[in-house]
Structure 1
Amino acid sequence: MTSLKNELVGTWKLLSYIEVPIGGDDSLFPMGKNPYGLLMYSPDGFMSVQISREERLPYKSNDKLQASEEEMLSSLHGYIAFSGKFKVDNSSAIVTYMIKSSLFPNWKNKVQRRKIDFEGDILYLKSTEPILSNGLHVNSYMTWQRTDRVIDEFFEERIRKELSLQP
């Protein structure tokens, strides 16, 4: 029998991220309807996730530490990132994250759990406990596609353009 950990190991590209309020309100798209994200699980039990809103404001300065308040808010509100260790419970199909680093400092040294489901190269993750998001308690639903063997065409095209501009 294959373990769920072995099925998770690799790199996953975000297809959708939806939050459903516990109170039954309409679903929310906190990173917009076309977010970009990568989720990585390593064989040695580490994980990392990065999710960004497509339409974040670029900084007028090329200095990452020199931004206007509006630029910083757009950057912060349009990004989710954390990393740490992960463990998988095969019997309950739950992955547990022990977060060691997070853009949101309140998640540092905290635990989060996700229910796991697969359909081919698609991974579905659902939060097992509600989180607070924009004043509402919500459950998150994320859909990921395995990308280990697929080249990200957007990234590849952008790199080719940048390389062709250099002398």
Structure 2
Amino acid sequence: MKHILPFFLTTLGAYIALPATGQQLTGTWQLTAADMIMPDGKQERDYGANPHGIAIFTADGHYTVEIFREQRMPFASKDREKGTPEEYRDAVLSMSCHFGTYEVDPVKGTIRFHIDKASFPNSDGTTRENTFILKEDQLSWQLPPRPNGEIPISVFRRIR
């Protein structure tokens, strides 16, 4: 009996310390922050003070992520095919969306997005690997740096 307790505690401790798996990401997540780390190390808002978004991870490995700036410029013509260059620019830059399949590497602490389609066409058909942290009902990931050195960070809360 005295050997069982140490074994149980060691096993329990290892279980509690296990990195997150894909199964733990399964579900629906509400965006709480879409920030960026600037090249000088300061953290700033990327999609405004109150961005809107959602991430959905299915048990069979599919996902979708949608991020939108709260304030978006409506088209004056009310016709999506008759926007001004400024309206089209704002529409594209006020969102970041993609969907496809995903895998989690619990040892490296990464999530690999196999992007089928994205709001930024250059991401279509690509794979992106991001470091992530799952702490209770908060999921966050850091994207690779942009060409200007900014590092986007997305933070989500599990929807119950």
TM-score surpassing 0.5?
yes
2:91 maps to 75
State the 1:80 CA deviation.
Answer: 0.6
Match of 2:74 among 46, 58, 63: 58
Cα distance in 1 for partners of 2:82, 2:44 equals 31
1:14-59 CA-to-partner distances (Å, cap 9, x unmatched) read 10111113x3253332211211011111111111111111111112
Normalised to the residue count of structure 2, the TM-score between the two structures is: 0.80
Stretches of structure 1 lacking an aligned partner (at least 5 in a row)? 150-167
Alignment of 1:9 with 2:21, yes or no, is: no
Alignment of 1:42 with 2:58, yes or no, is: yes
In percent, how many aligned pairs have the same letter? 23
- Using the TM superposition, name which of 3-12 and 55-64 deviates more: 55-64
State the 1:102 CA deviation.
Answer: 0.9
1:130 maps to 145
Following TM superposition, the consecutive aligned residue runs of length 4 or more in structure 1 with deviations greater than 3 angstroms are none
State the 1:116 CA deviation.
Answer: 2.1
Normalised to the residue count of structure 1, the TM-score between the two structures is: 0.77
Please identify the structure whose Cα radius of gyration is greater. 2
State the 1:138 CA deviation.
Answer: 2.2
User: Could you say what secondary structure the match of 2:45 adopts?
Assistant: coil
User: Could you say what secondary structure the match of 1:28 adopts?
Assistant: strand
Q: How many residues align?
A: 143
Alignment of 1:144 with 2:159, yes or no, is: no
Q: Contact 2:46/2:152 (CA < 8 Å) preserved in 1?
A: no
State the 1:84 CA deviation.
Answer: 1.2
Question: Residue type of the partner of 1:37?
Answer: G
Alignment of 1:91 with 2:107, yes or no, is: yes
Cα distance in 2 for partners of 1:65, 1:37 equals 25
1:128-158 CA-to-partner distances (Å, cap 9, x unmatched) read x3223xxx122222210011x3xxxxxxxxx
Cα distance in 2 for partners of 1:39, 1:76 equals 19
Cα distance in 2 for partners of 1:43, 1:55 equals 33
Stretches of structure 2 lacking an aligned partner (at least 5 in a row)? 1-14
